[in-house]
Structure 1
Amino acid sequence: MIIMRNTLLMLLAILLFPIAGLAETGEWQLAKEQDGIRVYTRDIAGSGYREFKGEMMVDANINQLLGLLDDTQACPQWMHNCIAPLLLSEASERERYTYMRNDLPWPFGDRELLVHSLINQEPASGAVTITLTGIDDDALPLDAQSKLPAKKKYERAAGLQGFWRFTPEGNRQHVVYQMHIDLGGSPAPALANAQIADTPLYTLINMRKLIELEKYHQFKIPTD
């Protein structure tokens, strides 16, 4: 999810970007704009890591978008720096628990992520929101705990909170991807913040390409 491929840039970021302290949640600031995608970042109270938000319009229906998100194994093909995804449990068609890793470059170790996701749809507007929350092992259903990797090789991210939101606008969808991740440990927040905008940018670029696959056109939105 978070890209830091260029080690030299990361080292320079220590000098160029002071580590954030316990600042109050700030206003959104435009960080990148490319190919119809806008990426914003902001400070979050109590965290040195900034939050990001990516937005775009796509010529697609909600079923295509949900079909891609439902395809756990496809995660590395489009979600930036996502590796080793594993669906641990489906509590229902709208609720699931997933394990994945955030690929960080040497000399930093990858981060484990345990994510609880929940789908909700607003009847009036048809907008769909998928909330994403980082959890601990003990918050997993029993059937999911048994599927976790047996050996703890990677540090667990200290916190994760975000969402996807798909809002119909005519024959198009307004897509919002918003996320705050506290990696914990090393690298320092300033290094992550220096390139955090790349995560939603490349994720949305890749999403726009993959939703055109036929298998996602055939996906049906979960119903209660």
Structure 2
Amino acid sequence: MQNLRARGNQRLANGRVNWLAATTVFLLTSGLAFAGLPAEDSENWSLRKETDHIRVYTIDQPNSSFQAFKAVAVLDVPIENLMAVMINPKSCVQWVHNCSESYAFGSGDFDERYAYSVNDMPWPVTDRDYVLRIRTRGQQADGEIVMDLNAIPDQREEEDDYIRVDKSDTLYRFIPEDDQTRMIWVQHTEPNGSIPGWLVNTLLVDIPIRSMEQLERVAQWDRYQNYELIYNSQGQLKDVVPKAESGDD
């Protein structure tokens, strides 16, 4: 009887380990484990606005007066063009609405790098600046690419002219669909300082729509053509380069 009870307890323990392992794998592959973002498939998302090819949803966040948003679009450009834009550390000013300054800093590589950016706010609200860690990953098997952008405010000294954003989490998910790309953008930001939640929540809807529309246009510029995705022997995305640099004819 004791042996049966022991074997039963062992099966329960193994089951808990397997459940925890499966849960951990799911969270890590979903891209939301460390970002603190709401699940993309949550039933609590509310559709706020829809254009021809972009839908924007918002959701309340616990212990915050600022909502998170989710924007979903099918952009009429291939994923290689979009990634060529995304790896340019100065491209924020080209496509993100109200981004007025952006550049890379510190040491980093394709998988993990660092960026500084400034966001114009409506007068008389003080402009905000961001210090971000950007992580990029992708698998050749399905072609999907995920980028996480998380605020790391203490990595650079604060600027006198701006208010530093100390909490911001963003997820970009790019899914190839032939010569088009489905983009999912999930973000929640605590803008810091004295700024009313209603103002930020009002801006949430138009920012992703204007930005995604502009991203689609920017990705068609000549400078972002003829790029390709480079994978390692394990099928993991390692770089995005002009085709001439890959060694192909």
Coarse TM-score class (shorter-chain normalised): 0.7 to 0.9
Give me the whole-angstrom Cα distance separating, in 1, the residues matched to 2:189 and 2:98: 13
Deviation sequence 1:107-155 (CA, Å, 0-9, x none):
1101111111111003321100011101122xx4xxxx5xx67x43211
Give me the whole-angstrom Cα distance separating, in 1, the residues matched to 2:72 and 2:48: 12
Aligned to 1:205: 213
Which runs of structure 1 show a deviation greater than 6 angstroms over 4 or more consecutive aligned residues? none
Count residues with an aligned counterpart: 191
For 1:187, give the aligned amino acid.
I
Aligned to 2:58: 41
| Mapped contact 2:128–2:191 kept (Cα < 8 A) | yes
Q: 2:173 aligns with which of 159, 165, 187?
A: 165
Give me the whole-angstrom Cα distance separating, in 2, the residues matched to 1:215 and 1:89: 25
2:210 is paired with a residue whose SS is helix
With normalisation by structure 2, the TM-score equals: 0.71
Asked if residue 177 in structure 1 is aligned to residue 185 in structure 2, the reply is yes
Percent identity between the two aligned chains:
28
Asked if residue 218 in structure 1 is aligned to residue 226 in structure 2, the reply is yes
Asked if residue 188 in structure 1 is aligned to residue 196 in structure 2, the reply is yes
Aligned to 1:88: 105
Matches within 5 A, 1:1-224: 27-137=44-154, 140=155, 145=156, 151-221=159-229, 223=231, 224=238
| Mapped contact 1:78–1:206 kept (Cα < 8 A) | yes
| Mapped contact 1:87–1:98 kept (Cα < 8 A) | yes
5+ residue gaps, structure 1, are: 1-24
For 1:205, give the aligned amino acid.
E
With normalisation by structure 1, the TM-score equals: 0.79
Q: 1:43 to 1:187 in 2, by over 3 A?
A: same
Deviation sequence 1:169-205 (CA, Å, 0-9, x none):
2332111111111112222111111221111110001
Give me the whole-angstrom Cα distance separating, in 2, the residues matched to 1:163 and 1:107: 29
Pick the structure with greater CA Rg. Answer: 2
Give me the whole-angstrom Cα distance separating, in 2, the residues matched to 1:176 and 1:188: 27
| Mapped contact 2:152–2:166 kept (Cα < 8 A) | no
Give the aligned CA root-mean-square deviation in angstroms.
Answer: 1.9
Q: 1:26 to 1:99 in 2, by over 3 A?
A: farther
| Mapped contact 2:153–2:166 kept (Cα < 8 A) | no
Q: 1:161 to 1:222 in 2, by over 3 A?
A: farther
| Mapped contact 1:131–1:163 kept (Cα < 8 A) | yes
